[in-house]
Amino acid sequence: MVQGWIQIVLTLLIVILITPVLGGYIARVFLGERMWLDRIFMPLERMIYRLSGISKNEMTGWQYIRAVLISNLVMAVFVFVIFMFQGVLPLNPTGLGAPTWDTALHTAISFVTNTNQQHYAGETTFSYFSQVAALGFLFFTSAATGIAVAIAFIRGLTGRSLGNFYVDLTLAITRILLPISLIGAVVLIAAGVPETLSAPIVVPTLEDPTVQQTIALGPVAHFEIIKELGENGGGFFAINSAHPFENPNGLTNLIQIVAMLAMPTALIYTFGIFANNRQQAWLIYGMVFAIYLVFIGVAAIAEYQGNPMVNALLDSPQPNLEGKEVRLGWAQSALYGVTTTGTMCGAVNSMHDSFMPLSGAVMLANLFLQIVWGGQGTGTAYLFAYLILAVFVTGLMVGRTPEFLGRKIEKQEVVLTSLLILLVHPIFILIPGAIALAFADQFAGISNPGFHGLTQVMYEYASAAANNGSGFEGLADSQPAATGLWWNLSTCVSLLAGRYIPITALLLLADGISRKPVIPMTTGTLRTDTGLFTGVTAGVILIMGALTFFPVLALGAIAEALQLAGGI
């Protein structure tokens, strides 16, 4: 037990140490400060701008939004075409044909929205070309889109113009994602992750040498690092980072967890530099970190204590190792599960469907809140949207002027933040989830009826709307029949709405705030860089965010936990 907790503590200490380093670097990139790396990257960026004909003019909120939507639409169509013609494209050693149209559509939308929800098995559905040229391409561009939106949002909050989406997208790839991914891929190769274009290997099994087994290979290492760094989460293999070729040992597991946390933690520090208020950044960081620690503690304790009904049969307490890799254990599985749902990465190193109910409740809570630590870039923006709402609510309660960073918070800001937090996310989780449960025989394909089945269904839509992509599994979402078609198409609605409606609201919010005059601080101004206000913000997050979904948790994971505790 002690060893497991030590592993968790050391991992989190590494994350804290790299936060100011990476956060400071990101700020320098987007503030346009000169660096020695300019000699390497500027020629590449000039070439990109020249070949693409990009105009580097500043954009308004609506111009930035249109650029995001149009570019993402073009990317999705490009990837969909690759999927449908992969049978005649190169790098297809196993001769895979095109997937069904609905699987191709769902996958293209899922990956362009940085969700990477998978209703297929990677090694038996997509060729190397599709995995690298289509999915790998979207790993970079979808993550860079989120970073660009976050930087535009931070600029707006701090009174700057939003910038240019295409320039921000390019910088996010060339200066941040690509360099770190190149170094990370080399490290993963050295740690045992394969990187090859060779065809799968056929070998005899250990049990019976006369029986042949096919071992899938592929260019995994470079795919794996950007999967985690960009909070993409889509696995090269069906079982994702539980596969020994994606995550062979403790070192690769550590690298993946740190990579998942690197960008969302760093962006909070980046905000502090933009706002010239590192104190507020660290307070916000501490608030999120505290919630994160509580969630880790609940999940880790639940997994260590194990299933009470199994323990009663064994007459000895045992950790819950069902659905987990023994080489990783209960502690690293719990930490990974909380981290991947908190960062909206969606990668898995164990099966979430096999976690204890309270662990499942924690992971669902992450998907509902979206700020611990949140999606690539958009999670940071969500966090500051909660801050704006907290400023307004607190100002009403104590009679102070609702201002954030010296700019008034008025009707438009409250409407947009309410749209983000109180309407869009619940609507595209609860409504399709209710439909699926109402027609469970026709659509849901639930493998575990009862409390657990409800969690399976709601988790699927929460994962889609939060742009996370992980699954509780146990649903017939990969079947070619009506259930598979339902899951592919219904989750597409949640994927698109969960990505682009919030991005639109966030950019409009930032654009509006950027145009407001700065109001000098007075004795009537509500300070937001204090521990008291940070605590109030935590309360607003838990009340307005968590209570919206409490009935889902109560009827699903919490009821299942009580059922197990009672031995029913």
Query: What is the pLDDT at residue 494?
Result: 95
pLDDT at 479: 63
Q: Per-residue pLDDT tens for 475-523?
A: 766 666 656 788 889 999 999 999 999 999 999 999 999 888 887 777 7
233: helix, strand or coil: coil
Mean pLDDT value of segment 551-568: 85
d(CA 267, CA 153) in angstroms, rounded, equals 11
Residue 412, Cβ neighbours under 10 Å: how many? 12
Residue 218 exposure: Cα atoms within 13 Å on the Cβ side: 29
In angstroms, the first-to-last Cα distance of the chain is 28
- Structure confidence by residue, pLDDT tens digits, 326-349: 889 999 999 999 999 999 999 999
Burial of 66 (0-12, 13-18, 19+ CB in 10 A): middle
The one-letter code for the residue type at 209 is P
Per the CB < 8 A criterion, the answer to whether 304 and 321 are in contact is no
pLDDT for residue 111: 96
* 558 against 484, higher pLDDT: 558
Maximum separation of any 2 CA atoms in the chain, in Å:
83
Question: What share of the chain has pLDDT > 90, as a percent?
Answer: 58
> Is residue 395 predicted with pLDDT exceeding 90?
no
Nearest residue to 177 via CA among 22, 71, 340: 22
Supply the pLDDT for residue 96.
93
Q: How far apart are CA 530 and CA 185, in angstroms?
A: 41
Q: Which residue has the higher pLDDT, 541 or 429?
A: 429
Looking at every residue in the chain, the average pLDDT score rounds to 90
Structure confidence at residue 443 as a pLDDT band (50, 70, 90): low
Q: Which helix (H) or strand (E) holds 21?
A: helix 2-30
Per-position DSSP letters for 367-389, written without gaps between them: HHH--SS-STTHHHHHHHHHHHH
Whether pLDDT at 283 is above 60: yes
In order of 225, 409, 510, the CA distances from 519 in angstroms are 44, 11, 17
Q: What's this model's pTM, rounded to 2 decimal places?
A: 0.94
Residue 10 makes CB contacts below 8 A (sequence gap 6+) with: none
Across 1-7, average pLDDT: 84
Tell me, what's the pLDDT at 131? 94
Kindly state the tokens that stand for 553.
């948790």
Mean pLDDT in residue range 26-48: 89
Average pLDDT over residues 525-548: 82
Is residue 229 within 8 A of residue 221, CB to CB? The reply is no
DSSP lists the bridge partners of residue 202 as 214
Which pLDDT tens digit goes with each residue over 125-178? 999 999 999 999 999 999 999 999 999 999 999 999 999 999 999 999 999 999
CA torsion sign, 240 to 244 to 246 to 251? positive
Mean pLDDT value across residues 58-75: 96
% of the chain beyond a pLDDT of 70: 96
